[in-house]
Amino acid sequence: MKNKLALYAFLFLVFAVLWNIGADYYARKFHENIQQHKTVYVYDQEYNVINPVLIITDIDDKDSLISYYQKQENGVKNPGFNFALQTVPFNMPCYLLGYNDSLLAEIVYYENNDLKSRNYVKGYVFSKKLHNSPPPDSLLKNRLKK
């Protein structure tokens, strides 16, 4: 009986160690894959001021996000939206995973720009707000003045 219990304990320990090694390997490869995608910046550059961009994490909210930005493009000052308020920091590098359609891009960014922490946000943004370079310093200075 004692030998059986020791065997089960040993097998459980081996399984737990292998599980942790496998999970760490999977997480490392997952984040390496993300970081191989194109780096973009997401910000709104209207009226010589920089603003953060809304992001959705649930694809079901895409119509509301697209409608919000289309109304904004048509001159509506404060269009409403029907999803949780979450923004992408405007000076944060993001990884472009792809396009859901011509108006929606899937991105990932790491919180606090800390790639080692593995804390990331994956979601969808209005694709017209994507930029290949960070915001110009002049826009950042204008943002700080307000």
| pLDDT tens-digit map of 35-50 | 899 999 998 887 677 8
Which tokens sit at 36?
Answer: 């191989």
pTM score above 0.75:
yes
- Please state, in angstroms and rounded to a whole number, the distance separating the CA atoms of residues 65 and 67: 5
Average pLDDT over residues 8-29: 86
CA distances 66 to 44, 57, 79, 101, 122, Å, are: 14, 14, 11, 11, 17
- Please state, in angstroms and rounded to a whole number, the distance separating the CA atoms of residues 57 and 18: 32
| pLDDT tens-digit map of 79-90 | 888 888 889 988
pLDDT computed for residue 79 by the predictor: 86
- Band (pLDDT 50/70/90 cuts) for residue 64 is very high
Cβ(81)–Cβ(54) below 8 Å: yes
